[in-house]
Structures are given as C-alpha cells and as structure tokens.
Structure 1
C-alpha cells in the first residue's frame, strides 16, 4: 500500500504538459526554495498581524477583532500546518517522481501566495469597537498579569488563606492587578464589602484609620475622637459590623500593626481577607501573608504593551521594528516604564529619532546600578523629551500635593495660571483652554493618570514612581521643599530652608503655629508658599519679612483669626488665598500689594472689605462669598477694570449691587451675585449687550 500514493501522483503528472513536467523535474530545488520563502513570509505576516491585533485590543478598551481578520488568521494557521506536511513529505523522499514533488510544492506555494496577497490591511486597523467598550479592562487583556491574577483570586476563594501579600518592584503593575481584582470582587458579590485604602510611603495610624472609616462611610464616628487606642477600638467594631469583607491595603512600605490601626485579624472563622501590595517581600512575610510575586513582563508581553501605546501598526514598519524592540528591552519589562517611554515616542516615524532615543536610554540607565534608580532614569527620559518648558513646569508643580492625591483638574489649571506657567492671554477662558491642552499632553505621555473621583469630578494622579522622579528633579533645580500630608506638627527646621528654595508645600499637615525662629535670614528666591489645610492659629509678624519675592501665598482652610501687618510688605504678591478661613476677621491694609491679581476671601468672617483694595487695579479674580460682609463700598468695583472673575454670596443682601457699579467691568467673564432689584439687573444686561455690540463693530 505504501507505493499506491506515489503511483497515483505519477499518473497525475503524466496528464501535465511535457514541458511543464520536465520543468518540475529539473527545477525541483528552485521550487522548494521559493516554497520556503513564501511560507516564511506568510508566517512572518501572520505573527505581525497577531502582534498588532493584541496591541490594538489593549488600547482603547473594549475592542474586538474584525471578523475578516479572525477568519484570515484561522485559515492561515491551517495553511501553514498543511505546508509543513508537504515539506515533510518532500524532504523525506515520499515521492519516487521528482516532477510530482515539484508540482505539489508549486501548487502549495501558489495557495500560500494567494493568502499572503489577501492579508488584512494593517494600516486600516485590525479591531473594532465591541459591545463592552467603556467597561473596565477585561481580564484576558491584562498583559502578562493573567497567571498572577488567577493566583490571587484562588487565594481569595480559599478559606485557609486569610492574608495575601502581593509584592514586586515599583512600576511592575501591582496596583493595576489589584484594581481588576477589586472590580471582579464587586461584580461577583462574594463578600459583603470590598474596601480599598492607599497607604503610601509615609505611614500614619490616624490617617489610615480615617481612610478606612471613610471607605466604610462612617468617618463621623472617628472625627470626635483623638486618642489612637479608642479610635482603633471604634474602627475594629466598624469592620466587624461590615461583615465578611476584603480589605485591600495598596502601596504598603513597612510592616503595619493591624491591632494598632484597629483591623480585626482576618481568619477562616470570620471569612475576612486582607490583601496588601508592597515593594518588599519582607513586609509580606512579617505580616504572615501568603506571598505572591509580580514579575516583569516577558519580552513578547512587553512588546505587545509597548505597541498598544505607541501605535499598533508600527509592527508593519520593518525599518523601525529592530530599534523599537531594543527600546522595549531597555524598559526591563516594567509596565509603567513601557507605557511612559511609548507615550514619549508615540507618532515618531524617523529612524534617527528612535536610534537616538535608544542611545540616550542606554546611557542614562548605564550610569546607575540600583534597579529603582534605573526606573527613575528611564522616567526622566520622558520628562526631558517634553519640548515645551511651560509643560515641564506644570508637571513638576504636581509634586506639591501629597502622595497619591487626587488632583482636581480645574483647580490644578487655576494653580498653573496663578503661578504664571500659562502665558497671560486675552481672556481667562483662553488660559483655561491652554491648561487643558497641557493636561492632555501630560496624560498622553502617561506622566499623569487621568481619573474621576467618586463625586464624578475629573482628576489626575501621579504614580508614586513618577512622583519620585519629579521630586528628584525638584530637589535640585527648580528647588522645591515638599512635605505635604506628612502629619507635621511644626514647620521644618531652620536648616531645611535653604536660600535657593523657590516653592514650599506644607499643605495637609497639623501645624498650629508659625514661630519667629524657623526661617533663615532670607528666603531670597521663595515665590510660592502653600500652607493650606493646617490648623494654624497664629503667624508671627516677622515671618513674611524673610520672603521678599513671594508671589503666591495659600493659607486656605487654616484657623487664623488675623494676618500680621507684615503681609502688606509683600510687594511682589500676585495671589492671596484665604478661602475657608472661618475664624479670620481681620486683614491689614492691602494697598501696597500692587501686583495682586487673585484674592480669595470666601468663607471668612470679615465684615468689611480690606482697606486699600481700591488700589489693587491689577486684580483679575475676586471671590467674596462672605456671609458676614456688611457692604461693598460704592466706587470700589469701577476702579477694578481688569476683573475677569467676580463672586459674591447670593444670599447676602447687603452685598447686592447696582448696575452702574458693574458697567465699567468690560473684561468680566464670570459673575455670581445679586442685584438690588430686577431693574438694576436689566440695566446690567443692557449695558453688557451694548458693550458686546461695540466690540463686534471694532
């Protein structure tokens, strides 16, 4: 029977024209070489299509393969399998007749060539929006994290495992994995509560207690208690009442005493679980956790993620791909680094730019030995490639907030405006629009994470590794001193106030007093001082005399009752923010603050407009939502002709206005307040319409 097939093949060949038969016979080796070349081309094309498709399925979320692409890949795999069978038959000498082998190889080559010609057009994209668009990332699309995710999930489902420690170096994707686990837990409802709390580098028991109680929507029960032990007891009862729950502690840097915080010990009897993410295996072991390590991505996984960010169809550019793969290799399999470097090079097609980027990355990373330092150097590459100096300053400013802080986008843009990072334009709206463009640039480069908080307010966050990189820059030039959200009870010591500091952020601390002996003789270059959200009651007279160049002073939500007269000597001050200072009743004369552009006194207890305010002709922004304010002096507003933003308390009838007071404010873009009656309001509207007509006719 083994000779039947060759005989049949010879019979088939006899039906072929003699010249073609002879050609198959004489040029068999040539046909085989062509067969292998087309087979290899088809195989490479299939792998490129698969790689691009995987990348497209990651970004944006909710994509599915085009039907034609799926069918082509399925058929090509079968074709390549058949080609392998043909190759095996020919190489093993299964056919007595060389012409029969030549004919078989030629026919299969033509079939493969036809498949190659019908390959999907990669430039048009290989995926389309699926029914799940906009939903959280499906599990199958988590590059490289599937095995770890499954291991964590399995542990959560096992009664005998109560504590799980997920560890790995910064930027390896621990938090991302746990966010998907968190989503799956909420969806499947196997636990009564799923609680997420971010710990951060600086650990404070009371802060963690507050965050857990806030997640339980029971923070009011802790607000009145200051004793740590009693707070722990109250929190313990809260968690017990929460029933069978999973508590996720993200970004743990050191061992945590559950008893000290008030977290009941998880066990199989109460059905509760504790999961922590950390950079330290020692922390996991010390806390008695089941240890699970998150490893860097494999080369293929890293390449897929990189392509999903930089541009999936880049895989078709065979000139760039060798260099691109070397760039990916320098990212060491860390998702954070991969995403940020890809964001930096997105849209670049010039091979020289890619080769230069590769050389620069190698040089930066080669200068340092520690793994964490290599990550920071990689991230600095992205920062240095921000071409606009304004954008760089805006990015570095984000370090003034506490670690893991959700920064409201609109508030951040306001800060950039008052810092002068956004050029003065014709209107305030134009400056805000420019701010949103800068935000988009930083988000596209993955230096800021786009987010929406639980109230639906658009926010951005800095990854802790990105923040470490930014702080390493601001420790040198421009020089910042950032000690925000560290529960400080007093100002930093005199030695920390170096003369070259430009910006100081001490927001969200517990500082209650500012003594006279803290600052050095001169903070000659200090332009920004952020003391908001501190229980400051008193500021010494001499404090501001050491800051001749101060431009931005934020004392919002402090407990000060009055400001020292020395504030009047801050001749370069452009922004004074006192919002939410509910005990503030007195301000000194402000007439000397000739550069002041923004003044926020909302929520204070002042009864009179500060003296000298009529001299501040550069004011652009005033917030006077003050219920205790007794009047707006006649003739004040007409002098402030550059005002763009003006707000009064609409419930305070004593601050109601006349149209004639508002008519000179031709640059006003936003107003909130009330007029004395409907006639005054109509006069104001008529005046605004006339001004608009005149402007349009110019």
Structure 2
C-alpha cells in the first residue's frame, strides 16, 4: 500500500511540476515579450550584415563570369524571406501587442504571447541561417574549352587532305597508339589539320578531356603547363617547376581518357618535365604531336605512327586559270 501511495505521489508531483513549468514558460512569454523581440531583431540585423557580405562576393563573382553555387543561392533566398517576410510578421504582432483590451484598461496578453513565441521560434531559425552562411567560396569558374576554329581560308585546303585526316582520326581511336605524329614544311597546314582532328574527336566524344598547347622552337615549360592547366581549370600553388609538373601529372591522371595535342615541336621535349603522363604512367592518355621534322617525332618523341602533310601546288589549266589544291604526298610511316 505504501509503495502504491509513493508511486502515485511521485506521479502527481511530476505532473504538477510539468504543468507549473508550462505555465511559468507561457507567463514568461507575456512578461518578457519586449526582451525576446529585441533579441530577435538584433539577430536579424546580424543576418542582414552577413547577407550583404555574401551578396558582395556574389556580385564580384558574376563580374568575373563565374557561376554561383546552388547552395549559396538557396541560402540567400531563405535569408531574404526571413529578413523581409518574417520580420514584417513579427512587426505586425508587435503593433497588435501594443493595443490594450477592455477599453484600454488591460494589456493584450494573447497578442504578447503570440508575439514572444513567434519571435523566439524565428530567432532559432536565424541562428541556423547564420551558421549555414559561413561560405568559404560562393562561386566556381567554367572549365574553358580549347578553341579549335578552322580559319575560313583554309577550308578548301583541308578538303584536299581528307585522306590523311581520316587516317589520323583512325590512329587516334587505336588504343595501341599513344603517340601520333604529324609533320611537314612550315605553312602547309599542320595546325589547321590537328584542330580539325580535335573538333572531330570532341564531336565523337572519344575522350573525357581534350587539351592543346603550343611548344615553339624555344620551349617554355611553364607556359606549356599553363596552357594545359587553363583548359583543365587547374590552378598551380607550387612555385617550383617540378612541383607544378607533379600537380599537372596528378590532374591529368584523374581523366580516364585524355587527348593531348602538342603543336610545333622543334626538338625533344621531356614530357615528364612538363608533367604529362604517358605509356604505363597513364594508358588512357593519347598524344598528337606536330613538327617540321620526322626525326623529332619518330626518334626524339617516340611517335608510333607519323603522317606527312604535303605542299599544296597551284596549277594552270589549258582552258582557264584556276587554283587547284593538290596533295603532293601523303606518307604514312609505320615505326
């Protein structure tokens, strides 16, 4: 009997305590409504400041032609709603709470309660938004695609080289050929041809990424690295050439299949010094090289197959004078 009485007493005490706390809390909403509303308004001001800082970063990013992260746009929309709509609703309840009942003799306890409860709930939502708004970055840049526009004046010349073009494209598709060469005299259209190959490769979606760099007769390793990195959206933090090469190599290996075009090679170029993995280092990397000298491609760069681009000759017909593009030589060299 004593056990039952004790249990009942504890239960009653618990219920009474809960009811008392509930009444006390509701009563505090009425008595402390000014303090609760003031706290909410201060937090909204802090949210405004944070929103304005994020908007400054967003505006700067858009001027740099960068894309805004979706979560940043979502956060800004939520912040705007809290600042504009929720604050307006609280202000409306605050005006209502100032009005008195019973011919102005009694405070409007119901309005004060609703105001305090709304302000407290929204203050919690503001705290959450403030925590979510700590963005390290608000935007990202598009990875630039290599420009492979063929000059209009060279289109007719290209048509006459359709045979060699087709053979190069087929070689690029061959998984057993990782280094392919194109050689010929200056001005015969090697660069135009490889740009058209790039266009075809992208159209056929043969590779995950395509990059191109111009080497020249005095190779600048840093510039070659920068050309490739720009296409991939890679930013170097390393200062040393070897550090940059390592970073570029790691980035290229992330592409399952990548097509690397190196234009205008005059002498042996150390691919590992640049940071281009090939062969066993990256079996998904296929390279297309252009040079004036077949020996540079076959001996120095170890091209497995090289194609010659011949000179276009102007001929005069017996009945009329007209320009006829003729390929003097299309030589496939198997090594």
Query: Higher relative CO (CA 8 A, sep ≥ 6), structure 1 or 2?
Result: 2
Q: Which has the higher helix share?
A: 2
Bigger radius of gyration, 1 or 2?
2
- TM-score, normalised to structure 2's length? 0.47
